[in-house]
Structure 1
Amino acid sequence: MKATRLPPHVMLLLPAVIVLAAVVVLPLLLSLWSSFTPFRLTRPDSIYNFVGLRNYERIFIDTDFWIAFGRTVLLLTVALNLEMLLGLGLALLVDRQTRGQRALRTILMFPMMFSPILVGFQFKFMFNDNVGLINNALQSLGVTDQAIPWLIDGALAFTAITAAEVWSSTAVFAIFILAGLMAMPREPQEAARVDGCTPWQTFRYVTWPFLMPFAFIAMTIRSLDVARAYDIIKIMTDGGPAGRTEVLWTLIARTAYSDARMGLANAMAYVAILLSVAFTAFFFSQLGKARAQVAGDW
């Protein structure tokens, strides 16, 4: 009996499929299974005890989870809006430059090149209440006569984390919006000026509608990043003080590794992923509306 051979294209893809299954699919399936068990790192045999939806039911009545979720949404809302406004301003300034625009575009990308861990250490040092650059500058300028406890007070620590997130990722919005400005035809703007429109009216009714799809693409990408924010918060505050800066993924990490409740942590992670998908779907719907508006107007 002649042995059957797989087609050549299947043979070529088979090693990649095997590696992908070993590295991605199997861990996902294992984590999904463990979310239906009371699996604890201190009791490895507990992964075989199926408890159904008990972990998920516990999440929906867990106050800490929903507080962390609300804090994540707040961080996402504040950070995305600030990044969009600052990115828009930077893109408009760079677009107006006639000399050195390539160098400015390169400099604009520098914050994106830094690791989130490095950014966390950098801002943790800057906001240090004793030797930090921020406090030293404020005291030197006479704004305050005593050190401000940036990373000790809950509201101030959240502000410091937001500043770190905005600094590291504003360039994402700036680059996408700048790409939109470079692709935008100049005739509608010139026609608006000839018709007597003010610069604000030209921007509001001509420029911004064209740029909206680019802004929503950046917002979709950044919403996924902020929704799984972990590195910067872990380095700067580790969710403190007293859990005042705890977000979803720092809570999940603490539940999994500090409390050793891996089954519950995996259930939290899957709920967090579903919430992230919901945010992404919302931004994609807004992107579709913006593209349809641009197609109708242009």
Structure 2
Amino acid sequence: MKKFKRFMQVVLCTVLLGSVFYFGNGKAFAEDQYITIKKGDTLYSISKKYNISIEDLKEYNQLKSNKIIAGQTLIIPDFEQTKPIYVAVAGSFSKKSNADKRMALLKKNGIEALVVKKVINGKTYYRVQTGAFSSKSKAEKMIKKLKNNGIKDAFFLTEKPLHINGVTVGSSYNQLVQKFGQPTKTEDDKNTRSLYYKNEGAGVRVTINPANDSIEQLQVYPEFLKTTSIPTEKNKILNAYGNPNEVKIVSCYESASCEQIIYRFNKNKLIVQIDRDGKTVQYLDLQKTK
């Protein structure tokens, strides 16, 4: 359990999100940093310096007022992983063969590309993706490059990295607790911790990567949570996360059939299982893909 105890400590450095992601190869870890308040510091000045709202500073540090004093320690959370990403698209097709042809053409012209499947209103489309950027200007440059290469239907979309309630793969345990609240009890099993909030079931199960003590998998069960910020119905999931990459029917309890809505982004995967009633969220499962 020594490794798990070390994980529970707050990491004292910040690793910021890279400026560009290509096809899920980028990686980032949201590690919170500590700062010591100096004479003359205010929540307003700190919020401007670290580009974070006063409300988030107060919530994350459990402050009841705006008053801070010299020598006091504050946590500056790293929310970089949930900031918008700009995805450059070189066309969207109903037939995968057409998407493959477009991708081959791009590669012939020296532009790396990837075909990504999307399910929109029950129909499957194949999107040719040529990069995902944290900078809007870089996405626009890619679109200009595509159009200069004859791709007239190029465009970019704004997407958010996969997360649950602001917590994602690579986040710290401290960030998770700040977002979901303090549990009434916890249970540990090797590198997995279960957090209980109400009733008998665990509201959150989190698996830790022993190599860097960051969150590797996050499972959330809305019916056992006190927070109301987690989508609990299928239509709210679609509103929150947009069109999924895949939808499939799986067997669940009592030989019933349940629907899984699956999202993939930046080597992460989010599985949302819908109950047999076709609308209620059973659980959300966010994990790294191999």
Same fold (TM > 0.5): no
Instruction: Please identify which structure carries the higher helix content.
Output: 1
TM-score (norm 2): 0.26
Greater relative contact order: 1 or 2 (C-alpha under 8 angstroms, separation 6 or more)? 1
TM-score (norm 1): 0.25
